[in-house]
Structure 1
Amino acid sequence: MPRPFRPVSLEPLRRRSKRTAGLAVLALAAGLLAAAPAEAAPADQQRQRDFAAAAREFGVPEHVLLGVSFLESRWDFNAGTPSTSAGYGPMHLTDLREAGTGTHHDEGGEDPRGDDARRAKLPVTPPPKPPPPGLQSIDEAAALTGQDVATLRTDTTQNIRGGAALLAKYQREAGDWYDAVARYSGEKDAAGARSFADEVFDTISKGVSRKTDDGQNVTLAATPVSPVRAQAENPKTECPKKVSCLSVPAPYQELPNNDYGNHDKADRPKSQKVEYIVIHDTEGYWDTAMDLVQDPTYVSWHYTIRSSDGQIAQHVPTKDVAWHAGNWYVNAKSVGIEHEGFAAKGTWYTEAMYRTSAKLVGYLARKYDIPLDRAHIIGHDNVPGTIPSTIKGMHWDPGPYWDWSHYFDLMGAPLAGFGRPGSPLVTITPDFATNQPAFTGCEAGGKPCPARGSGSVVLRSEPTDSAPLLKDIGLRPDGSASTMDVSDIGSRAETGQRYVVAERRAGWTAIWYLGQKGWFRDARTTSPAFGLVVTPKPGLATVPVFGRAYPEAEAYPANVPVQQVVPLPYTFSAGQRYSLGTMLGSEYFSATTFDPADHVVVKGKTRYVQIQFGHRIAFVRADDVRILPAF
Structure 2
Amino acid sequence: MVSAHPAATAAQPHSDTLQKEFAAAAAGHQVPLSVLLGLSYLESRWDSHGGAPSVTGGYGPMHLTDAATTLAALPHHSDAGEDARGDAGRPHAVPRTALPAPATLPARLRTLERAASLTGLSAKALRESSAANVQGGAALLAAEQKRLGLPLSADPADWYGAVAGYSGASDAATATTFAHDVFDAIRTGRRRTTDTGQSITLAASPQLAPRTEQIGQLKLGTVTDTGVECPRSVACESIPAPYQQLDGKDYGNHDLADRPASQKVDFIVVHDTEGTWETTIKLIKDPAYVSWNYTVRSGDGHIAQHVPTKDVAWHAGNWFVNAKSVGIEHEGFLAQPDAWYTEEMYSTSARLVRYLAQKLGIPLDRQHIVGHDNVPGTVPSTIKGMHTDPGPYWDWDHYFELMGKPFRPTAGPFAPMVTIRPDYEDNETAYTGCTGPNEPCPAHGSGAVRLYTEPREDAPLIRDIGLRPDGSPSTTDVNDTGARASTGQQFAVADRLRGWTAIWYLGQKAWFRNPWWDPVTLGARGKLVTPRAGLSEIPVYGRAYPEAGAYPAGVPVQTVTPLPYKLLAGQAYVLGQTSPSEYLWATTFEPAGHRVVRGKDVYYEIQFGHRVAFVKASDVSVRPSGR
TM-score (norm 1): 0.90
Shift in alpha-carbon separation, 1:144–1:227, aligned structure 2, 3 A: closer
* Structure 2 letter corresponding to 1:565: V
Q: Contact (CA 8 Å) 1:427, 1:528: kept in 2 or not?
A: yes
Q: What is the DSSP-based 3-state SS (H/G/I as helix, E as strand, rest coil) of the residue aligned with 1:501?
A: strand
Deviation string 1:181-210 (CA, Å, 9 cap, x unpaired) is 222223333332222122111211221112
* Structure 2 letter corresponding to 1:50: E
Shift in alpha-carbon separation, 1:144–1:228, aligned structure 2, 3 A: closer
* Structure 2 letter corresponding to 1:525: V
Structure 1 match to 2:136: 162
Q: 1:115 aligns with which of 58, 74, 87?
A: 87
Q: Contact (CA 8 Å) 1:108, 1:393: kept in 2 or not?
A: no
- TM superposition shift of 1:214: 2.5
Instruction: Give me the whole-angstrom Cα distance separating, in 1, the residues matched to 2:553 and 2:84.
Output: 27
Structure 2 match to 1:28: none
Matched, 1:129 2:101: yes
Instruction: Give me the whole-angstrom Cα distance separating, in 2, the residues matched to 1:167 and 1:538.
Output: 68
Deviation string 1:104-137 (CA, Å, 9 cap, x unpaired) is 6444753110011013322433235345342122
Superposed, 1:448-527 pairs within 5 Å as: 448-522=440-514, 523-527=518-522
Which stretch of structure 1 is more off in the superposition, 130-139 or 254-263?
Answer: 130-139
Structure 2 match to 1:377: 369
Shift in alpha-carbon separation, 1:371–1:440, aligned structure 2, 3 A: same
Instruction: Give me the whole-angstrom Cα distance separating, in 2, the residues matched to 1:138 and 1:509.
Output: 47
Structure 2 match to 1:81: 52
Structure 2 match to 1:206: 188
Matched, 1:393 2:375: no
Q: Contact (CA 8 Å) 1:458, 1:491: kept in 2 or not?
A: yes
Instruction: Give me the whole-angstrom Cα distance separating, in 2, the residues matched to 1:439 and 1:146.
Output: 39
Q: Contact (CA 8 Å) 2:113, 2:123: kept in 1 or not?
A: yes
* Structure 1 letter corresponding to 2:197: G
Q: Contact (CA 8 Å) 2:160, 2:212: kept in 1 or not?
A: no
Q: What is the DSSP-based 3-state SS (H/G/I as helix, E as strand, rest coil) of the residue aligned with 1:391?
A: helix
Tell me how large the CA RMSD over aligned residues is: 1.9
* Structure 1 letter corresponding to 2:345: M
Instruction: Give me the whole-angstrom Cα distance separating, in 2, the residues matched to 1:380 and 1:125.
Output: 20
Superposed, 1:320-359 pairs within 5 Å as: 320-345=311-336, 346-359=338-351
Q: Contact (CA 8 Å) 1:110, 1:390: kept in 2 or not?
A: no
Structure 2 match to 1:630: 625
Matched, 1:225 2:225: no
TM-score (norm 2): 0.91
* Structure 1 letter corresponding to 2:363: P
- TM superposition shift of 1:157: 2.0
Structure 1 match to 2:70: 99
Q: Contact (CA 8 Å) 2:507, 2:565: kept in 1 or not?
A: yes
- TM superposition shift of 1:64: 0.9
- TM superposition shift of 1:351: 0.6
Count of aligned residue pairs for this structure pair: 590
Instruction: Give me the whole-angstrom Cα distance separating, in 2, the residues matched to 1:484 and 1:105.
Output: 23
* Structure 2 letter corresponding to 1:564: T
Q: What is the DSSP-based 3-state SS (H/G/I as helix, E as strand, rest coil) of the residue aligned with 1:413?
A: coil
- TM superposition shift of 1:263: 0.6
Q: What is the DSSP-based 3-state SS (H/G/I as helix, E as strand, rest coil) of the residue aligned with 2:560?
A: coil
Q: What is the DSSP-based 3-state SS (H/G/I as helix, E as strand, rest coil) of the residue aligned with 1:72?
A: helix
- TM superposition shift of 1:243: 1.7
Q: Contact (CA 8 Å) 1:213, 1:434: kept in 2 or not?
A: no
- TM superposition shift of 1:242: 2.6
Deviation string 1:443-496 (CA, Å, 9 cap, x unpaired) is 222222111111111112211121221111111222221111111111111110
Superposed, 1:280-291 pairs within 5 Å as: 280-291=271-282
Instruction: Give me the whole-angstrom Cα distance separating, in 2, the residues matched to 1:227 and 1:598.
Output: 54
Shift in alpha-carbon separation, 1:108–1:458, aligned structure 2, 3 A: farther
Gapped runs of 5+ residues in structure 1? 1-41
Structure 2 match to 1:276: 267
Structure 2 match to 1:8: none
Structure 1 match to 2:558: 563
Q: What is the DSSP-based 3-state SS (H/G/I as helix, E as strand, rest coil) of the residue aligned with 1:457?
A: strand
Q: Contact (CA 8 Å) 2:81, 2:95: kept in 1 or not?
A: no
Deviation string 1:136-166 (CA, Å, 9 cap, x unpaired) is 2222222333332223222222221221121
Structure 2 match to 1:30: none
Q: What is the DSSP-based 3-state SS (H/G/I as helix, E as strand, rest coil) of the residue aligned with 1:510?
A: strand
Q: What is the DSSP-based 3-state SS (H/G/I as helix, E as strand, rest coil) of the residue aligned with 1:414?
A: coil
Q: Contact (CA 8 Å) 1:109, 1:393: kept in 2 or not?
A: no
Structure 2 match to 1:21: none
Q: What is the DSSP-based 3-state SS (H/G/I as helix, E as strand, rest coil) of the residue aligned with 1:615?
A: coil
Q: What is the DSSP-based 3-state SS (H/G/I as helix, E as strand, rest coil) of the residue aligned with 1:581?
A: strand
Instruction: Give me the whole-angstrom Cα distance separating, in 2, the residues matched to 1:99 and 1:424.
Output: 46
Instruction: Give me the whole-angstrom Cα distance separating, in 2, the residues matched to 1:594 and 1:105.
Output: 22
Shift in alpha-carbon separation, 1:150–1:477, aligned structure 2, 3 A: farther
- TM superposition shift of 1:175: 3.0
- TM superposition shift of 1:226: 2.4
Instruction: Give me the whole-angstrom Cα distance separating, in 2, the residues matched to 1:393 and 1:229.
Output: 49
Q: Contact (CA 8 Å) 1:606, 1:621: kept in 2 or not?
A: yes
